[in-house]
Amino acid sequence: MAVHITYFVHGTTTDNEQNIATGWSPGKLSELGKQQSIELKELIKGKKFDVVFCSDLKRAVDSAKLTFGDSVKIVQNKRLREVNYGDLTRANSKLVESLTLEHLNKPFSNGESYKDVEKRIKSFLNDLLKKYSGKNIAIVAHRAPQLALDVLLKGKTWEKAIKEDWRLKQPKEWKPGWKYILEG
């Protein structure tokens, strides 16, 4: 049986508003990010999730709590973290984004590569299949894990996933949840 995944990105952070690449730093939701997370609760009203997984980074945990509250079990998982930008953590986000393709296979200095994120997400998905087959789950996390899901579950290359990333389009095509199906 399949696992039905709905993926949500955390709300806007103070770093997002200042064009800072947060990476593995905890990050803090801005007032807009808090509002987005609360509004998401209304947008998904009536949808049932068996469990919610979120990155263990503060910005994702806070978003998950504001959106789902006590209505469903929230499980933090380190494998859902953003890519580790290493020495470029807290650098200008435009600079870091411009280096994405360069770091598909090559880790950021003192960090990791996007392929490393793919390995983490693949491990996470393998565990989902074993424990949550037939379930409907939500994930609250970051850009790199979502791109990894596009690669692993939608058959995109990293280059295509990055090129089609909604965050790069104007106007941005944000929506309340991207759907993925994980089959064994």
| pTM of the complete model | 0.95
How is domain 3-182 classified at the CATH fold level? Answer: Rossmann fold (3.40.50)
Q: How confident is the model at residue 55 (pLDDT cuts 50, 70, 90)?
A: very high
Cα-only R_g, the chain:
15
Scanning the structure block, which residue is given the tokens 């504001």? 66
- Give percent of the chain above pLDDT 70: 97
Collapsed DSSP state (helix, strand, coil) of residue 145:
helix
Give the span between the Cα atoms of 135 and 51, in whole angstroms.
Answer: 8
- The amino acid that residue 5 corresponds to is I
- pLDDT tens by residue, 75-126: 999 999 999 999 999 999 999 999 999 999 999 999 999 999 999 999 999 9
Give the span between the Cα atoms of 40 and 11, in whole angstroms.
Answer: 9
Give the span between the Cα atoms of 124 and 15, in whole angstroms.
Answer: 27
pLDDT recorded at residue 170: 64
Mean pLDDT of 122-143: 97
pLDDT recorded at residue 166: 82
pLDDT exceeds 70 at position 171: no
